[in-house]
Amino acid sequence: MPIWQLDAWPAFTWNPDAVQAALQNAVQAHMQTSTALSAIGMQGHGSINRDLWSQDALATAAIEGQSLDVQAVRSSVGYRLGLAMPRSADRDVEGLVQVMQDATQHYANPVTDQRLCEWQKMLFPANADKPLKLQVQVGAYRSHAEPMQIISGILGKEKVHYTAPPSAAVPHEMAQLLYWLAATSPASQNNLSMARPPWLVRAALAHLWFETIHPFEDGNGRVGRALADYVLAQELGTSQRIFSLSRQILAERKQYYEQLEAAQHASVTGQGGLDVTAWVLWFIGVFTRGCQHSLSVIRLASDKAAFWQRCAAFNLNERQRKVLARLLDAGDGGFLGGLTAEKYIKLTGASKATATRDLTQLHQSGLLAVQGQGKGTRYAVAVADWHSDFSRHASSNDLLDFP
């Protein structure tokens, strides 16, 4: 039975004792990430925010099976961060990034029906250009009479994972959710009759509640994750993205759908039906692991910045800079089999003699580590605490795919 059919709906419950340790871990992970970001100084904030925001945008689309152009996303995000990057001409990208920007930068403003409908409309900028039968209802809650169902499987063998409340009930259901969001917000002065849940619990409940209602004909996942970002920005009191929630959800997509489905059905949520402790614990864990990933991104950016400072002491040519940038972007151990002269030639178009001379200079300058001799010589960027795996040799197919 869907939980919205229970008499107590939407009075969610959870076990405070069970989530206490998870909340403490999340706070610690967030503090570590914030401290690391502060340590690199303001100069590095822009590029890190761009990388994390771009990862988030690409991920929230990918969760729904939508593939966006990476460079278009980076351009759109960079433009909004004032990084002197051109605005993307991709309307799908612009719409999604605009939704994410509004959710986090305007977290002090209340979420209303109109605001959510505008978010959903932004996700489908080309909707009116499509044939009528392919268009979805945009800018409004769903109104069709057919059941709103989450279905998987091939035609004739479909599996119904969840059935949402009927369209006629959506306005009332959303009114309850929006009232709760306003009454439990950090700025609310009228929440004496409504207890404020812990910050991450509030975000977990908001996302689950929204996805359970499934108010739109399409775009519910992306809007629902934007809503979770909105709540987190509100709770943390900042629009700065120092974690990528959607990226971590994408990494755990199978569990994400399993946890949502379990939480949305009374038959598997316990005696009371509305005990969503398992969902809350999973959501807090995703946030924590998202912070840990962001910490690795920040440390990588710090390593890159320090490395380029070392490079400033040498008169490097454009070929060498291009290859070093490629190695740095691959990250710690990410360059399969190490760099070889063959790969250097393929990446730069240099002759064999020029490639050998460039690589020798980089090694002698202490910018590249080297292992092996002759045709077996392999290089890796010389960054402290990076562990290059020279033993993982690239295959011929890897070379064909390079760079």
- Please report, in tens digits, the pLDDT of each residue of the chain (403 residues total): 899 999 999 999 999 999 999 999 999 999 999 888 887 765 557 778 888 889 999 999 999 999 999 989 989 998 998 887 788 889 999 999 999 999 999 999 999 999 999 999 999 998 888 888 888 999 999 999 998 988 887 777 778 888 999 999 999 999 999 999 999 999 886 555 578 899 999 999 999 999 999 999 999 999 999 999 999 999 999 988 788 899 999 999 999 999 999 999 975 444 457 999 999 999 999 999 999 998 888 887 788 888 888 999 999 999 999 999 888 877 776 676 788 999 999 999 999 999 999 999 999 999 999 888 887 888 988 887 776 555 444 333 333 333 3
- Whether 169 and 318 map to the same domain: the answer is no
Full residue range of the structural domain in which residue 396 is found: 314-401
Does the residue 229 lie in any domain? yes
- What's the CATH code of the domain at 373? 1.10.10.10
Assigned token pair, 5: 């059919």
Does the residue 131 lie in any domain? yes
- Whether 388 and 284 map to the same domain: the answer is no
- Whether 84 and 127 map to the same domain: the answer is yes
Does an H or E element contain 303, and which? Answer: helix 277-311
> Count of alpha carbons within 13 Å of 263, Cβ hemisphere only?
28
Residue after which a domain boundary falls, among 301, 328, 344: 301
Q: What pLDDT is recorded for position 397?
A: 34
Does the residue 52 lie in any domain? yes
Does the residue 41 lie in any domain? yes
Does the residue 138 lie in any domain? yes
Q: What pLDDT is recorded for position 39?
A: 79
Residue after which a domain boundary falls, among 270, 301, 332: 301
Does the residue 129 lie in any domain? yes
The total number of structural domains in the chain stands at 2
pTM of the model: 0.81
Contacts of residue 328, defined as CB under 8 A and 6 or more positions apart, other chains included, come to 303, 304, 307, 381, 383
Does the residue 341 lie in any domain? yes
- Whether 352 and 209 map to the same domain: the answer is no
- Whether 76 and 167 map to the same domain: the answer is yes
Question: What CA–CA distance (Å, rounded) separates 201 from 341?
Answer: 53
SS3 per-residue string spanning 65-100: CCCCCHHHHHHHHHHHCCCCCCCCCCHHHHHHHHHH
Dihedral Cα 156, 160, 165, 167, nearest 10 deg:
-30
Does the residue 307 lie in any domain? no
Assigned token pair, 82: 């004032």
- Whether 269 and 345 map to the same domain: the answer is no
Contacts of residue 376, defined as CB under 8 A and 6 or more positions apart, other chains included, come to none
- Whether 318 and 297 map to the same domain: the answer is no
- What's the CATH code of the domain at 65? 1.10.3290.10
- Whether 216 and 259 map to the same domain: the answer is yes
- Whether 109 and 153 map to the same domain: the answer is yes
- Whether 120 and 168 map to the same domain: the answer is yes
- Whether 264 and 176 map to the same domain: the answer is yes
- Whether 360 and 251 map to the same domain: the answer is no
Distances (CA, A) of 123 to 8, 31, 70: 34, 33, 17
Residue after which a domain boundary falls, among 277, 301, 325: 301
